[in-house]
Amino acid sequence: MMESADSKFRLVKMDDTASEHINAPKYSYWAAVFKKFLSKKSTIVIMVIALTVIFLSVFDPIISGYDPVVHQNINNASMKFLHPSLKYLFGTNDLGDNLWNVVWMGARNSLGIAFMATAITTTLGVVVGAVWGYSKSMDKWMLEIYNIVANVPFTLVVFVLMYVMGRGIWQLIFAMSVTSWLNTAYFIRVQVLIIRDREYNLASRCLGTSTWNIVKNNILPYLISVIVTSVSRDVPSFISMEVFLAWLGIGVGEKTPSLGKTISGNRTFMTNTPYLFWIPVAVSAVITISLYVAGQSLADAADPRTHM
Amino acid sequence: MSENNNPILQASDIVVQFQVRSRMLTAIRNVSVDLYEDETLAIVGESGSGKSVFTKTFTGMLETNGSVPQGKVMFEGQNLLDIKDDAGWEKIRGRKIATIFQDPMTSLNPIIPIGRQITEVIEKHQGKSPSEAKKEAIELMNDVGIYNAEKRFDEYPFQYSGGMRQRIVIAIALACHPKILICDEPTTALDVTIQAQIIRLIKDLQKQYNYTIIFITHDLGVVANVADRVAVMYAGQIIEIGKVEEIFYDPKHPYTWGLLSSLPQLGIKGEPLYAIHGTPPSLYDKIKGDAFAPRNPYAMQIDFEEEPPMFKVTDTHYAKTWLLDPRAPKVVPPVQVSTLHERMKQVLTAEEEQMHE
Amino acid sequence: MSEMSRTVQTPSADGREVLLSVRDLAVTFYQGRKEFKAVSDVNFDVYKGETFALVGESGSGKTTIGRAIIRINPTSAGDVIFQGKKINQKLSKEDNRWVIRNIQMVFQDPAASLNERATVDYIVSEGLTNFHLYKDEEERKKKVVDALESVGLLQEHASRYPHEFSGGQRQRIGIARAMIMEPTLLIADEPISALDVSIRAQVLNLLNQFKAEKGLTQIFIAHDLSVVRYISDRIAVIHKGRIVELATTEELFRNCLHPYTQSLMSAIPLPDPQIEKEKKLKVYDEAMHDYTTDKPSFQEIKPGHFIWANSAEMEKYRSEIR
């Protein structure tokens, strides 16, 4: 090595631009979200459970031909109170119906109600909350309104509304949305306040960007993670709310099946045929938890800080 | 500062790694340094150089994903890296080796009165009674320049200004008369006038309390003020070490040249400053050769192939660059570096009369 | 010996054109009923083509002044006059556009001053798209590439996201974003404080290059007097919302009179061990001023050298001048 050693001691010209190159592969936000989301095995398992649940809720009512109004086996005593078996996975109920079908139809309605209420709450909450957080003048009077309204117990309001409007799916969705959207708006407002005066927003103002464009391009993308979190909490929370309200005898109409109605209706069977009560409870729990966890994982993955 | 030739701490061949998600970051790549009694050693480096991480190995304060797979830290006859549990570190941390951090806001507990935070340490490490501890705490508060210590003893951190909080942090660190005080950028978050006072305080107390200072900073002006010896770190290694005069008036490593010549204080109005191109290398990858080579205007072929050893310049001055190899061409440092003292004197004469009034 | 707090500098004193004039500026922040006077009685002119520095410690109000000039902060009193027009008031759409094109800002924190979720291309051309300052997409792209290359970045960087860059590169992206508007006045708000020491020189060189090549006028806001010495032509020292001293760089370093400026000077650490070890520290005590009867004002003690003092102090300073 000594023979050519001296040649190695000659000065080498430096490439000025070499150090400016970025060697890492190009970054794409959604690709990174996807990758982060699927990185943990537990997340994939939960996702599968959540998707299965949704799948069953959507398709079982269609293929089973279960009719919640006309109970086919209502006069057939041998079909009633059958314990869970391979043929009837969830067993049958007091009316001779296959609990499996009852549960999934109820789940479909409960999920439908929850998603609908969430959609309304989130849209309204985000739009109002974003402007609320960004506009200092709006903040002043909106905060006063919020402080008063937020102190009214929501249960009371829902009761009153349902009492006035009567039972039914749309009445329920309305009541739940009306009492929840302000909370979402407040939550979004807080997040917007945090980033409102960050330097990159000040820079946009210096460059003459309109308020609308600042909200659209600077603030909303930052809020994606936050919005996903909010949705992932709202859906399970609305499902639970429906169950709770059904227990109290209000909520969906007489003829509409729902998880809450099933659970509430089956509580008299807790002593003799407990499966009729506990199975819908378990299904409700599985739906709630799996949606919540999957949503939280997605929210985490959507936060660009976790991509580094 | 008496330079005994007794090192009180000897770190040899330290390697520190961090497990970051699925990758391994080698933050410290084989560093050795001796620390002598009553001296002030400044460790200078930029972000990512490893200067903070290195001293954390002396107090067992590496983050949970960090490990020291290689090396020894000999202190008082014991290898500090053999200590595996908190009980073992209790005897060292805060008692023999204390640390002051950058942010006085977060170094103090906001809900406990100031006085209590000092007496807590005294009672714990020295086993004194509460009344004795209070007396000592007030003495400490006086030493670090808190007026009306008796009255302010029961106040909370939010009632103190940033500079005063940092003084309390110093008081807490000195409460147990440590042998080594590690100052990790203690003045970076403070205003310039307060910074000067705090640095003055740390140095003055050194004579009174007899401790060795390791001062970590990126500010070369502060280094010139505070240090007896300077270690310059880059990409996880010490690339030059020597007495402060040697480093400022006769530096040998191109990175040190770059740091010095890029200082605005040495700039001449109207002429561009010397700027080091590019960015430090990623410590996730294995580095071949000299880590500074891609940014080094005085790089040679061998810098890209083999890591240079530490070359001796004087008994106290060493530099890790192939330029010191006898086979290397003679290279002159940039003019800003070779005329540093003259230029600084010019700056000084402008202000001299004011300061020596 | 008259008090000249209204007309601070005579514009044509040396034939230089005044680009920006700040007169009796005050900015007060309100929290409920409590008011906090961030800035008061600020007077200065900025000449075309010069680099004017605002130096102060944290909380001194220097950033507030910068933001008041570029109209992010509202002012409570006083005037900000740009090219003869008062701009700290409601402006017509035309005037607003004119101000935005001519005054731009570079921010302190490279980590927070870029939109993380936008590409460099979008970030740099944001100002252009707001006012549609190009014929077609091709011209816009070219302007972006030119801006990037003028700050030492590469064309390939346009499709990348901010977090893929280092601090120094991000700060240069911020500069490209401001310079693409071709402003006549650039306000740099502590542009190098958050950068590593060896990267600062790059940014300072860039700013000087723009000054030399394009005749760019700059207001440089900093807390470090030693940096400001290298880059600026004139310096204003700010303490608690007031300018306490204003002079050319050489004059200030040779002849600083106000005790606050002196304490700031003595506190700057110089990178020279011998000098540092012999240095004596000056401490500023605000209580040394007695303003109960003899009120202070902003006065010219030498041509171009201004100081905040009352008449008794003016006498004292005059005797100290070299």
pLDDT tier for residue B350 given thresholds of 50, 70 and 90: low
Per the CB < 8 A criterion, the answer to whether C265 and C250 are in contact is: no
Task: Confirm or reject contact between B135 and chain A (CB < 8 A).
Answer: no
Q: What percent of chain A has pLDDT over 70?
A: 95
Provide, as residue numbers in chain A, all residues whose Cβ is less than 8 Å from the Cβ of C122.
217
* Chain-chain contact of A12 with B304 (C-beta, under 8 angstroms): yes
Alpha carbons C48 and C16: distance in angstroms, whole number: 7
Per the CB < 8 A criterion, the answer to whether B12 and B71 are in contact is: yes
Residue pLDDT, tens place only, C152-172: 898 999 999 998 888 889 999
Q: What percent of chain B has pLDDT over 70?
A: 96
Q: Pick the more confident residue, C7 or A257.
A: A257
Q: Taking residues B10-15, what's their average pLDDT? A: 94
Per the CB < 8 A criterion, the answer to whether B126 and B93 are in contact is: no
pLDDT tier for residue B4 given thresholds of 50, 70 and 90: low
Provide, as residue numbers in chain C, all residues whose Cβ is less than 8 Å from the Cβ of A308.
163
Write the CB contacts of B210 (distance below 8 Å, at least 6 apart in sequence). B38, B177
Task: Confirm or reject contact between B304 and chain A (CB < 8 A).
Answer: yes
Task: Confirm or reject contact between A8 and chain B (CB < 8 A).
Answer: yes
pLDDT at B149: 87
pLDDT at A308: 59
Strand pairing report for B97-100 and B7-20 = unpaired
pLDDT tier for residue C281 given thresholds of 50, 70 and 90: confident
Q: What percent of chain B has pLDDT over 90?
A: 45
* DSSP-assigned letter for residue A153: -
Residue pLDDT, tens place only, B230-285: 999 999 999 999 999 999 999 999 999 999 988 888 888 888 888 888 778 888 88
| Strand order across the beta sheet in which B180-184 lies | B97-100, B180-184, B212-217, B40-44, B229-234, B237-243, B318-319, B311-312
The subunits that touch chain A, with at least 3 C-beta pairs less than 8 Å apart, are: B, C
Q: Pick the more confident residue, A72 or C261.
A: C261
* Chain-chain contact of A19 with B279 (C-beta, under 8 angstroms): yes
Q: Taking residues C67-90, what's their average pLDDT? A: 93
pLDDT at C218: 96
pLDDT at A5: 53
Q: Pick the more confident residue, C211 or A62.
A: C211
Residue pLDDT, tens place only, C44-76: 999 999 999 999 998 899 999 999 999 999 999
pLDDT at B232: 96
Closest among A261, A295, A297 to A280, alpha carbons compared:
A261
Residue C250 C-alpha, separation from nearest chain B C-alpha, in angstroms: 9
Task: Confirm or reject contact between A19 and chain B (CB < 8 A).
Answer: yes
| Strand order across the beta sheet in which B23-36 lies | B23-36, B7-20, B66-75, B78-79
- Chains A, C: CB contacts within 8 A come to 82
Closest among A252, A120, A132 to A177, alpha carbons compared:
A120
Answer positive or negative: Cα dihedral of C31, C33, C34, C38: positive
pLDDT tier for residue C12 given thresholds of 50, 70 and 90: very low
3-state secondary structure chain C: CCCCCCCCCCCCCCCCCEEEEEEEEEEEEEECCEEEEEEEEEEEEEECCCEEEEEECCCCCHHHHHHHHCCCCCCCEEEEEECCEECCCCCCHHHHHHHHHHEEEECCCCCCCCCCCCCHHHHHCHHHHHHCCCCCHHHHHHHHHHHHHHCCCCHHHHHCCHHHCCHHHHHHHHHHHHHCCCCCEEEEECCCCCCCHHHHHHHHHHHHHHHHHHCCEEEEEECCHHHHHHHCCEEEEEECCEEEEEEEHHHHHHHCCCHHHHHHHHHCCCCCHHHHHHCCCCCCCHHHCCCCCCCCEEEEEECCEEEEECHHHHHHHHHHCC
Residue pLDDT, tens place only, A111-153: 999 999 999 999 999 989 988 888 888 888 899 999 988 888 8
**Cβ neighbours around A243 below 10 Å, total:** 23
Of the candidates C199, C208, C271, the beta carbon closest to that of B260 is on C271
Of the candidates C112, C117, C157, the beta carbon closest to that of A198 is on C112
* Residue with token string 């103190």: B160
Residue B318 C-alpha, separation from nearest chain C C-alpha, in angstroms: 19
Residue B207 has pLDDT above 70, yes or no: yes
For A232, B66, B278, C199, C236, the CA distances from C205, given in Å and listed in that order, are: 50, 39, 15, 10, 22
Residue pLDDT, tens place only, A154-201: 888 888 888 888 888 888 899 889 889 999 999 999 999 988 889 999
Provide, as residue numbers in chain C, all residues whose Cβ is less than 8 Å from the Cβ of B354.
256, 262, 265-266, 282
Residue pLDDT, tens place only, C198-252: 889 989 999 999 999 999 999 999 988 888 989 999 999 999 999 999 999 999 9
3-state secondary structure chain A: CCCCCHHHHCECCCCHHHHHCCCCCCCCHHHHHHHHHCCCHHHHHHHHHHHHHHHHHHHHHHHHCCCCCCCCCCCCHHHCCCCCCCCCCCCECCCCCEHHHHHHHHHHHHHHHHHHHHHHHHHHHHHHHHHHHHCHHHHHHHHHHHHHHCCCCHHHHHHHHHHHHCCCHHHHHHHHHHHHHHHHHHHHHHHHHHHHCCHHHHHHHHCCCCHHHHHHHHHHHHHHHHHHHHHHHHHHHHHHHHHHHHHCCCCCCCCCCCHHHHHHHHHHHCCCCCHHHHHHHHHHHHHHHHHHHHHHHHHHHHCHHHHC
Of the candidates A20, A203, A209, the beta carbon closest to that of C113 is on A203
Of the candidates C205, C253, C266, the beta carbon closest to that of B350 is on C253
Write the CB contacts of A166 (distance below 8 Å, at least 6 apart in sequence). none
Low-confidence winner among A297-301, B11-15, B214-218 (lowest mean pLDDT): A297-301
* Chain-chain contact of C276 with B225 (C-beta, under 8 angstroms): yes
Residue B20 C-alpha, separation from nearest chain A C-alpha, in angstroms: 10
Provide, as residue numbers in chain A, all residues whose Cβ is less than 8 Å from the Cβ of C159.
26
Q: Which domains can be identified in chain C, with CATH numbers?
A: 8-320 (3.40.50.300)
Residue B2 has pLDDT above 50, yes or no: no
